[in-house]
Amino acid sequence: MISEIKTPFTQLVNCKLPIIGAPMFLVSTPEMVVAVSEAGGVGSIPSLNFRPAEEFEKQVKAIRAKTEKPIGVNLIVNKSNQRQKPDLKASLDAGVDLFITSLGSPKEVIKEAHKNGAKVICDVVNLEHAKKVEDLGADGVVAVCAGAGGHAGELNPFVFIPWLKANVNIPIIAAGGIADGYSMAAALTLGASAVHVGTRFIASTEAQVNMGYKNAILKSTPEDIVLTAAVSGTPCTFINTPSVKKMGDDIPFLLKTLKKHPLGKKLVVPLVHLLGMKKLEQSANQYGKSDIWCAGQSVGVINEVLDSKAIVEKFIAEYELAVKNTPQSS
């Protein structure tokens, strides 16, 4: 089995394989980060998986102590995240190699990360945002395509990735619908420099979620994934369980009406977000209490729980087969 795949991304962060273990809220663990990085990819984790900030500082130091390979941290960079600065400092102090930014301007993160030699890649769902972060100095973009888990994009990867490739000059990391080496080979062929893999790692031994959630990943089909704003106020993809069906596809009419007014918006948005996070925590941690489980369409090709190292190794074996079996012109 091949041990290294060189791409602009792997050269950027000095890793062996173009695979990022995506930072997943309530799912990713320090053990998962270490396992993916030690296997040759880049493991990453959301800073907000740990509360309070002091706990994140403790955990990111512990991750760094367990591996010298590149590790990543996801930072929410909108103004509502009051932990952005302390989490950024804790990450830099610990020697984090890669930052993945979401939901806002990455300007400050790029500035501070580059002082330490760390790299920054930014979630984008359109070309306009990709060009903006490139102008700010981002080192790469995560092309969040249709089919992704969480806050999915709307564009088909067969269009979005080549479109970005033609219009930006920084590495593109493909996200959405990638759960095996075959889809990884397709993404790299389209022009991506790496893949951003989330849902596949929910069905891993290191994921900190209950077996109900993991079993739902194994049993669900792509048609079971729905996009709804009812959980957190922002459109997000979930497995269409009884609880999600009951909630519908948007927040209640009264809250939606209040959200349209400036004062109401200041009160409603944080409240809906907080309630949504509580529901997600309960569903992830307490089997039988609730079944509100976030996932992407790649559930359709996931059929077993493996440890994270084995998942990476399976990706590479399948990638090799995909490349070997690709028709060659004569």
pLDDT tens for 67-98 read 999 999 999 887 777 788 899 999 999 999 99
49 in any annotated domain: yes
214 in any annotated domain: no
Instruction: Please name the residues in contact with 33: beta carbons below 8 A apart, sequence gap of 6 or more.
Output: 21, 43, 44, 45, 63, 67, 71, 72
Rounded percentage of the chain residues whose pLDDT exceeds 70:
84
Tell me: do 240 and 199 sit in the same domain.
no
- Looking at residue 233, its pLDDT comes to 58
Of 17, 15, 32, 309, the closest CA to residue 185 belongs to 17
The model's pTM? 0.88
Distance CA 256, CA 138 (A): 35
For residue 191, is pLDDT > 80? yes
* Pair 197, 22: CB distance under 8 Å: yes
Tell me: do 253 and 129 sit in the same domain.
no
Tell me: do 203 and 228 sit in the same domain.
no
- Looking at residue 52, its pLDDT comes to 87
1 in any annotated domain: no
User: 304 or 279: which carries more pLDDT confidence?
Assistant: 304
Tell me: do 176 and 232 sit in the same domain.
no
What would the mean pLDDT of 8-37 be, rounded to a whole number?
A: 95
296 in any annotated domain: no
Tell me: do 250 and 115 sit in the same domain.
no
- The sign of the CA dihedral 294, 296, 297, 302 is negative
What would the mean pLDDT of 47-62 be, rounded to a whole number?
A: 90
Q: Integer distance in angstroms from the first to the last C-alpha of the chain?
A: 26
Distance CA 148, CA 110 (A): 25
> What single-letter amino acid sits at 243?
S
229 in any annotated domain: yes
For the stretch 263-277, pLDDT in tens is 545 544 444 454 445
298 in any annotated domain: no
Instruction: Give residue for tokens 């790692």.
Output: 201
Question: Going along 162-235, which residue ranges are E strands?
Answer: 172-175, 194-197, 225-228
Distance, C-alpha 81 to centroid of its chain:
18
Tell me: do 145 and 244 sit in the same domain.
no
Distance CA 151, CA 140 (A): 19
**Residue 20 is part of a domain; what is its CATH number?**
3.20.20.70
Tokens describing residue 279: 């529901």
330 in any annotated domain: no
Tell me: do 149 and 257 sit in the same domain.
no
User: Domain range holding 245?
Assistant: 221-285
- Looking at residue 3, its pLDDT comes to 80
* Pair 66, 108: CB distance under 8 Å: no
- The sign of the CA dihedral 229, 231, 236, 239 is negative
Q: How many helices (H) and strands (E) does the chain have?
A: 14, 10
Tell me: do 128 and 263 sit in the same domain.
no
Tell me: do 271 and 310 sit in the same domain.
no
Tell me: do 80 and 225 sit in the same domain.
no
For the stretch 148-176, pLDDT in tens is 887 778 899 999 999 999 999 999 999 99
Distance CA 211, CA 214 (A): 5
51 in any annotated domain: yes
Q: How many domains does the chain have?
A: 2
Tell me: do 195 and 111 sit in the same domain.
yes
pLDDT band at 51 (very low <50, low <70, confident <90, very high): confident
Task: Please state whether the peptide bond connecting residue 171 to the residue before it is cis, i.e. omega within 30 degrees of 0.
Answer: no
For residue 280, is pLDDT > 60? no
Tell me: do 158 and 30 sit in the same domain.
yes
Q: What is the DSSP string of 281-312?
A: HHHHHSTTT----B--GGGGG----B-HHHHH
Distance CA 235, CA 150 (A): 8
